[in-house]
Amino acid sequence: MELSTTPYEERLTAPRSWWLITFLVGVACGLTLLPFGTIPLLSGFVGGLLVAAVITSQYGSIRIRVVAGSLVAGDAKIPLSALGAVEILDEEEARAWRTFKADPRAFMLLRSYVRTAVRAEITDPTDPTPYVYLSTREPETLAKALGA
């Protein structure tokens, strides 16, 4: 397999609706402190909003990168030479590979709100991981970067 020189980077950010929920968590925290006065109300709103925003942002900070002959997805770093066939998964196939077709030994960087994905086989005989499943909004570009 030819190593790709095409750099690729994608951040799987949380959807906008999650940020609305984050705001509503802040409102709920503020309203629970309303009986204690205005200052506790504002403190509860700001505190709840900050905690919810940090959690939402942290969950949405996952990155997928193809750089220097390696696939870096979350905490995993896989040399491109260890990858075999790359398959672009449409919405239906991505759902199938997230559920009933999934292998528990696979490395899966998935976000259910991202509807498409890429699945790449691991060809390293010493690695028990059969494949890598990556949720991506740009499956064709990622597959090209992986050298498919």
Q: What is the DSSP string of 26-83?
A: HHHHHHHTGGG-HHHHHHHHHHHHHHHHHHHHHHTTEEEEEETTEEEETTEEEEGGGE
CA dihedral of residues 84, 66, 100, 90 (deg, nearest 10): -100
Query: Tokens in use for 76?
Result: 């995993």
For residue 132, the cross-strand partners are 107, 120
Give the whole-angstrom CA distance, residue 49 versus residue 30: 9
Task: Measure the CA–CA gap between 83 and 81, rounded to whole angstroms.
Answer: 6
pLDDT per residue of the chain (148 residues) written in tens, 0 to 9:
445 455 889 988 888 999 999 999 999 999 999 999 999 999 999 999 999 999 999 887 889 999 888 999 988 899 998 999 999 999 999 999 999 999 999 999 988 889 999 999 999 888 899 999 999 999 999 999 987 5
- What ranges do the domains of the chain cover? 13-59, 64-145
- The answer to whether 141 and 109 have CB atoms below 8 angstroms apart is no
pTM of the model: 0.79
